[in-house]
Chain A
């Protein structure tokens, strides 16, 4: 399947990262054993942030990041333009996370995975903060995978719509539709959770 090069209009090319991306692609094409470390240095923070924000502080986070890097290293040779690297990394990361969400859903369906896997293990400062995270990600876990990803990228990671569309490999219109559906579904589900409902009402009042 031909690989689609994705351009990001969110982060304009800066000399530093672009140089690093160029160097990385050179390492890839020469089969240099330092490629893995160089790739992680360049996009490790981006991958971590994306996985973390879509799935929360998940206990399998590190394994997922590893999976993403396995996929990245497998396809890196096909990236020809250094400036397209970050967009491509986002797309691969989102694909991996989407597969994981779907896999979990199937496992849960057949009782092979406990609901505890959705627990958020972040050591947030207070119980209330932890509770808020757990409940928010609990609701997000009930959204369809595409809606959940669009919601997390747009609202939690605050990415521009164009970047969300590129990462999700869909059109702008599709991503808007998914966001709208995700918001409606999230509100409906959050209404059933007293803490989230109360919190949303407070935020509404503060508005």
Chain B
């Protein structure tokens, strides 16, 4: 191929790769596998008399059923009926509320997505795919509710609770505001009561992160211990209320992602997670040598989110870790990534801070020049400050007159001049 367009396409393919990383693919696989999930096993009757007996039992159950269950359960969003199997995604800045005919409600927070997988009189089920769902479940006899997220299931019958699924890190956070819920996972189940919060991470989805959990697992006095030890061993059971916290347990204010990301001394692996390995490869040796925190678990958490494309969540995770600390310790490539996330999330101050930190700490790095151009973009696109934008574009041109973005900077300067 000699045509420049075809060479450009080839370059694009090289930069783009073949698709998302293994963590996301594993999630996709799990979702697809669920589409053909095992049907209920059919039991062959052992004798002919089982059939009439079963019919009699069913008839008796039908006659004795609670009146509330005879009414069909309907679900609406903005007064429009929602069918079972419907995929529901909340808009970027608004919640999406599902109203059930039994006065229960499920509210998908902005950007959250879920599928209504069952809406039967006896069982309502939502498959949470990303974000937060807040449930207000009104008690109806023999009606169970569940929210599935990854390998976890949250079951409730009469409670107010929220479940947050961070798909990039395969993390489930459950908070109970009223009543109680049961949370089950591959390793067992646990019971939560009002005022408690539970955070779980899928060990199979992100072995790198899971293997490095060192949160002291101290079930709170109000929490029932998990029947299976493994689940509680992976869980950080935190007190969400303002009551006293056991000394060994992390405080409710502790950053969740950070809390999960502490190395376990006896952890089975020491290599960095797959998601961050590509970043490590992208860092220049100079940048690596100047970074004291490269590859640290807290850093990994936000980088994993950024690499999964969830810039808003990545920025939030970085903020929980402490942006000023990250500005002081991150490598140039990661500061660049942080600034990128902030720009995509439309957060001008944080984008600017990361870019300024990049320029301050790595003045000789070519990315510092690019940062000047990006500061111009932030000023122009996010701050709507043409004068400051022009200053930064000029700065970029003075530092990199033949840079890849020089033509773009000149055009933008021309446009800004034409405006004034």
Complex Cα–Cα for A62 and B29 (A)? 10
Whether B2 contacts A207 by the Cβ 8 Å rule is yes
Contacts of A114 in B (CB 8 A): 92
Q: Which positions 302-319 of chain B face chain A at CB distance < 8 Å?
A: 306-307, 309, 311
Whether A63 contacts B113 by the Cβ 8 Å rule is yes
Contacts of A95 in B (CB 8 A): none
> A35 on the interface (CB 8 Å rule)?
yes
- If A114-B92, A122-B15, A133-B12 touch, whether A36 touches B25 (CB-CB below 8 Å) is no
Whether B29 contacts A37 by the Cβ 8 Å rule is yes
Count of chain B residues with a beta carbon within 8 Å of a chain A beta carbon: 58
Identify the closest chain A residue to B9 (Cβ).
A155
Whether A133 contacts B33 by the Cβ 8 Å rule is no
Give B222 Cβ to nearest chain A Cβ, in Å: 37
Contacts of B3 in A (CB 8 A): 183
Contacts of B76 in A (CB 8 A): none
Contacts of B12 in A (CB 8 A): 132-133, 136, 156
Whether A133 contacts B8 by the Cβ 8 Å rule is no
> B27 on the interface (CB 8 Å rule)?
yes
Complex Cα–Cα for A51 and B28 (A)? 13
Contacts of B340 in A (CB 8 A): 127, 130
One digit per residue, 1 when the CB lies within 8 angstroms of any chain B CB and 0 when it does not, for chain A 118-146 equals: 01111111111111110010000000000
> A158 on the interface (CB 8 Å rule)?
yes
Whether A61 contacts B20 by the Cβ 8 Å rule is yes
> A177 on the interface (CB 8 Å rule)?
no
Q: Which positions 332-352 of chain B face chain A at CB distance < 8 Å?
A: 333, 336-337, 340, 344
Identify the closest chain B residue to A202 (Cβ).
B4
Contacts of B24 in A (CB 8 A): 62
One digit per residue, 1 when the CB lies within 8 angstroms of any chain A CB and 0 when it does not, for chain B 1-43 equals: 0111111111111011111100011011101111111110000
Whether A207 contacts B4 by the Cβ 8 Å rule is yes
> A1 on the interface (CB 8 Å rule)?
no
> A195 on the interface (CB 8 Å rule)?
yes
> A11 on the interface (CB 8 Å rule)?
no
Contacts of A128 in B (CB 8 A): 370, 404-405
Contacts of A37 in B (CB 8 A): 29, 32-33, 36
Complex Cα–Cα for A133 and B9 (A)? 10
Whether A52 contacts B17 by the Cβ 8 Å rule is yes
- If A40-B33, A136-B12 touch, whether A155 touches B404 (CB-CB below 8 Å) is no
Contacts of A132 in B (CB 8 A): 11-12, 15
Whether A199 contacts B410 by the Cβ 8 Å rule is no
- Give the segment of A66-74, A79-87, A98-106, A161-169 that binds chain B: A66-74
Whether B38 contacts A33 by the Cβ 8 Å rule is yes
Whether A183 contacts B18 by the Cβ 8 Å rule is no
Complex Cα–Cα for A127 and B369 (A)? 11
Give B64 Cβ to nearest chain A Cβ, in Å: 33
Whether A194 contacts B407 by the Cβ 8 Å rule is yes
> B279 on the interface (CB 8 Å rule)?
yes
Q: Which positions 262-290 of chain B face chain A at CB distance < 8 Å?
A: 278-279, 282
> A26 on the interface (CB 8 Å rule)?
no
> A160 on the interface (CB 8 Å rule)?
no
Whether A121 contacts B311 by the Cβ 8 Å rule is yes
> B94 on the interface (CB 8 Å rule)?
no
Complex Cα–Cα for A197 and B5 (A)? 10
Give B148 Cβ to nearest chain A Cβ, in Å: 15
> B408 on the interface (CB 8 Å rule)?
yes
Complex Cα–Cα for A51 and B284 (A)? 31
Contacts of B278 in A (CB 8 A): 123
One digit per residue, 1 when the CB lies within 8 angstroms of any chain A CB and 0 when it does not, for chain B 34-55 equals: 1111110000000000000000
B residues bordering A, Cβ < 8 Å? 2-13, 15-20, 24-25, 27-29, 31-39, 87, 92, 113, 129, 278-279, 282, 306-307, 309, 311, 333, 336-337, 340, 344, 367, 370, 374, 404-408, 410-411
